[in-house]
Amino acid sequence: MFASQTRLCEPPAFLQVRDVYARPYDEDYPVICFDEKPYQLLDERTEPIPMKEGQPVRYDNEYERMGTCCIFVTTEPLKGRHYAMAKQRRTAIDYAHYLDWLANESPYKNAKKIILVQDNLNTHNTASLYKAFPAERAREIVRKFEFHYTPRHGSWLNIAEIAISILQKQCIARRIADIETLNKELAAWETDNNANCKSIRWQFTAEKARVRLRSLYPVF
């Protein structure tokens, strides 16, 4: 009985995420959303027909599969900044090195703490850092973050999915043959977007949550 009552007193994951999104902007404690997107590398089998007056570039419907990779995407909703980086895999080690980049090399390296929202993928935990780095280094990186997780089957609460949708439409909805070219395209997209930052207005308010997700709210 006591354990059940304790669980009822703990706010559900979606409430924690919602409250994080409601925080005012603080440069020292930026709210960052992170997600990953698998990507299929494709090459042309036939040289495209160049664009000419009255006709766009034309591509053959056949293509060559060149393997897969994973695009790591972070977005800062209140500032409209997006960052994307392609890696060969999506292992715990890759995740750990991306967090190391966020903590020590990214534009957030001077923040006192990075408030990170992410889903519950099995590699998205502090254990990944201890797999990738010596314990002392891993602890330093962990201390730089405050982790918040979207609920199971609730990854749509991750605003990084909005950034991935924008990325898909503006940059990667085409055939790219290798990860080097992909990273160059991602860097160009990132630079262009961050030069014209547009904040993301999260409209799933507390009032809407109480109506649409009323079954998930704790009952006292």
Range 32-44 average pLDDT: 92
- For residue 8, pLDDT over 80 is answered with no
For residue 200, the model assigns a pLDDT of 74
Cβ-based neighbours of 138, under 8 Å, separated by 6 or more = 96, 126, 129, 130, 132
Distance CA 179, CA 199 (A): 29
- For residue 211, pLDDT over 70 is answered with no
pLDDT: which is higher, 84 or 66: 84
CA atoms within 13 A on the CB side of 54: 0
- What structural domains and CATH numbers belong to the chain? 13-205 (3.30.420.10)
- The number of beta carbons lying within 10 Å of the beta carbon of residue 23 is 12
- For residue 65, pLDDT over 90 is answered with no
Report the percent of the chain where pLDDT is more than 70: 83
- For residue 11, pLDDT over 50 is answered with yes
Range 84-106 average pLDDT: 95
Judge contact between 182 and 51, C-beta under 8 A: no
- The number of beta carbons lying within 10 Å of the beta carbon of residue 61 is 6
Distance CA 22, CA 25 (A): 9
Average of per-residue pLDDT values in the chain: 84
Range 57-86 average pLDDT: 88
Range 193-201 average pLDDT: 81
Range 94-106 average pLDDT: 96
Give the pLDDT band of residue 2 (cuts 50, 70, 90).
very low
Give the pLDDT band of residue 5 (cuts 50, 70, 90).
very low
pLDDT: which is higher, 2 or 139: 139
Cβ-based neighbours of 85, under 8 Å, separated by 6 or more = 71, 72, 98, 101, 183, 186
